[in-house]
Amino acid sequence: MHVDRRAGAVWGAAGIVWAVSLRLVRPVTGDLLDPPVSAVVGAAPGWLATAAIEAFGGAAQTLLAVGSAAAFVVLLAVAGALLGTTRTPLPAVAGGFALAALALYWLVPLPVRPVGLVAAAGTGLPPTIFVRAGRTTPWQGTDYARRRSLRRVVRGGAAVGALGALSQVSAWAGARVGPPRADDPLPERFKRETGRTVGGANSGTDEAAETTGDFGFDFAGMPPRVEDADDHYVVDINRQDPVVRADSWTLSVTGGETEYDLTLDDLIDHPDAVSVPATLVCISNTVGGDLISTTTWQAVPLDSLLDRAGVPDDAVDVVTRAVDGYSEAIPVEAAREMTAFVAFGAGGSTLESAHGFPARLLLPGRYGMKSTKWLTEIELATEDHAAYWERRGWVERAAVNTLAYVRGAAQRDGEVAVGGVAYAGDRGVDRVEVSRDGGETWHEADLEAPPSPHAWRRWRLVFPAPDADEVTIVARATDGTGERQTAESTGPHPGGSTGFHEKTISL
C-alpha cells in the first residue's frame, strides 16, 4: 500500500488549523468539542472516570479534550497519507469541515444561534487553504514549494484571524442579549455576610506572619467567616456551563399530588425564601484541600416546595434533574428530615452561571455532587433512582466526613497562633484539638460561633513560641454527636477523604 507522507502532513495541518478555528469561534459557538468529550466522559466506566479524576483532578476534562483533538488530527493525517492525494475538490474539503462543525454546534444550546451558525460554518474555510483544490501543479523545485507553502500559510492565517475577529464581535453582540437576571441584585430583605476567600494548601510549609494586637480569628491565612460568592469553588462535569435564559426557564415539580412549575421570580418572591450561610465541600477534595467554601445563599426550603406538591405515600426518592442531563437523588425520608434548599441567589445577587443559574439544589451536610446545578425538575419518584455518580461507583448518601483543616498562622510578643476551619455537616462541630508534636499530645482549640448551623466553624490555638525554627501542626475535630474524626487516611473516592490534616509552620 502506497503511503503519501506529504499528503498526510497536509491533511494533518488542516486538522490543526480546524482545531484552532474551533477555539477562536468559541465565544460565539461555545466549545464545539464539548459534546463529544462529554459523551466520552458519560460513557466511560466508573473506574476509569474515577482514576482520571484522581490522577489529573480538574485538568482531566481539558486533557481529554486536547487528546480528542490530537486524535482527530492524527486520523486526518493517516487518511490523507493513505488516500495519497491533496487534490480533493474545494467544496468537498470546505463542506466536510463545515458540516462537522455544524453537527457539533447543534448540540450546544446558545442564545445567538444565527451568528453562531455562520461562525461554525466558517471553520471549514481555513483548513481548506491547506488542502490543494482542483488539479495540482507539479512541483517546480524548492523555491516554488517554499513560495506555495508561504502563500498557503498566509491565507490560512488570514482566514483564522478573520474568524477570530468575527467571533469577538459576535460575542459582544451575544453578551448584550444574554441570559437576563444573571447576577442581578436581589431584594433588600435578603441580608448577607460577605468576605474574601483565602485558600489553604494541602501541605507544605507556611510562615507565621508577624501581627499586633489580639489574634482574633482573622490573622494571616485564615479564611473569612463567610466568603464572597465569587470566590466559591467550582467543579462540574461540563467543560462549558449550560446557557439558560431566565425568561424561558421554569422549575417543574412533578410526581406529587399536585404538579406545578416555578419561575425565577416565583422563587425570589416565595414567602419562605431565606438567606442562609452554608458550607459546601466537593467529594473530590483531598485532606486540607481548597474545594470547600462557605457563602450566604438565598434560597427556598425544599420542604416548602414538597409540601405544596403533596408527597405521595409510595414516593421513594426526590430526584433532581439539570439542564445538562445531570441527575441526583435523595430518599424522601432524608429530604424531609434534613434541611435542604433550592437556591436562586448567592451573596445577595442571582446565581452566576458557574453556580447553577437560575437555580440549584443546596444540601448542606452532603458533598457538593448532591447539590444539582441548573435545576429544571424536582420529581417525587416511586422507584429508586441511580444518580450520575452513584452509577460510577461513588457513595449514594455522600454525607460529609468530619474534617479539621489548618489554614493560618501568626506570631507576636513570643506567642504563636494557628487556626483553620472545621466542619461536620448537619452534625455540627463540638470540639477541635491541635497537636504540636505529631499527635503525642493534644490541646483544645478555641472555637468561633458558626455563621449558621449549616456552616463551618473557625478554630484557633495560641501557644508560647517554641525554641525551634518550625512547628508541625496536626488538627482533629469532634462532631456534635461526640464522634471524633477518624485518623485513617483515605483518598476522596468513593466516599470522601479522611484523615488528620498536618501542616508545618515556619517561625
* Beta carbons of 255 and 312 less than 8 angstroms apart: yes
Q: Are residues 367 and 420 in the same domain?
A: no
For 355, the enclosing helix (H) or strand (E) is none
pLDDT tens, residue order, the chain (507 aa): 567 777 777 778 778 877 777 777 776 666 666 656 666 666 666 666 666 666 666 566 667 667 777 887 888 788 777 766 555 555 666 677 777 777 766 665 544 556 666 667 777 767 776 665 433 444 444 555 556 655 665 666 666 666 666 655 555 554 444 444 556 788 877 754 433 333 334 445 566 666 655 788 999 899 999 999 989 998 877 666 777 888 889 999 999 999 999 999 999 999 999 999 999 999 989 999 999 999 999 999 999 999 999 999 999 999 999 988 889 999 999 999 888 999 999 999 999 988 999 999 999 999 999 999 999 999 999 998 888 778 777 888 899 999 999 999 999 888 999 999 999 999 999 999 999 988 899 999 999 999 999 999 999 999 999 888 899 999 999 999 999 999 999 988 889 999 999 999 988
| Cα gap 75→58, rounded to integer Å | 27
Q: Which of 395, 402, 403 is nearest to 330 (CA)?
A: 395
Q: Which of 338, 268, 336, 332 is nearest to 300 (CA)?
A: 268
**Of 392, 421, 440, which residue sits at a domain end?**
392
Is 358 among the domain residues? yes
With 0-12 / 13-18 / 19 or more C-beta atoms within 10 angstroms meaning exposed / middle / buried, residue 453 is middle
Residue 472: per-residue pLDDT? 93
Please give the tally of structural domains in the chain. Answer: 3
pLDDT in the model for residue 38: 60
| CB contact at 8 A, 255 and 381 | yes
Q: Residue 207: inside a domain, yes or no?
A: no
* CA atoms of 28 and 8, how far apart (whole Å): 31
> What's the pLDDT at 175?
44
Strands 349-350 and 360-362: unpaired
What's the pLDDT score for residue 133? 41
Whether residue 366 sits in one domain with residue 247: yes
My answer on whether 234 and 372 are in the same domain is: yes
CATH code at 282?
Answer: 3.90.420.10
Asked whether the beta carbons of 122 and 160 are under 8 A apart, the reply is no
The sign one gets for the Cα dihedral 80, 83, 85, 89 is: negative
Report pLDDT for 8. 78
Contact 86, 13 (CB under 8 A): no
Q: Decide if 94 is inside a domain.
A: yes
246 and 356, same domain (yes or no): yes
Residue at which a domain ends, from 176, 192, 207:
176
- pLDDT for 56: 66
Alpha-carbon distance of 43 to 39, in angstroms, equals: 6
What residues are paired with 422 via a beta bridge? 404, 457
The DSSP symbol for 297 reads E
Whether residues 29 and 157 share a domain: the answer is: yes
Strands (E), 30-142: none
pLDDT at residue 228, as a whole number: 92
Classify 307 as helix, strand or coil.
Answer: helix
**Could you tell me which residues are beta bridge partners of residue 404?**
422
Is there a single domain that holds both residue 361 and residue 269?
A: yes
Among 358, 392, 426, which residue terminates a domain? 392
SS3 state at 199: coil
Do 421 and 373 belong together in one domain? no
Residues 158 and 91 in one domain: yes
Return the CATH number at 428.
Answer: 2.60.40.650
Residues in the chain: 507
Domain span at residue 425 reads 403-506
- Which stretch of DSSP H or E encloses residue 219? none
Amino acid of residue 385: H
Q: Do 324 and 369 share a domain, yes or no?
A: yes
pTM of the model: 0.74
Is 159 found in the same domain as 49?
A: yes
Examine the domain organization and report whether 377 and 421 are in the same domain: no
The answer to whether the CB of 72 falls within 8 A of the CB of 15 is yes
Q: Are residues 266 and 384 in the same domain?
A: yes
Q: CA distances (Å), 103 to each of 33, 36, 77, 100, 319, in order?
A: 11, 11, 21, 5, 31
Find out whether 225 and 217 touch, Cβ atoms under 8 Å: yes
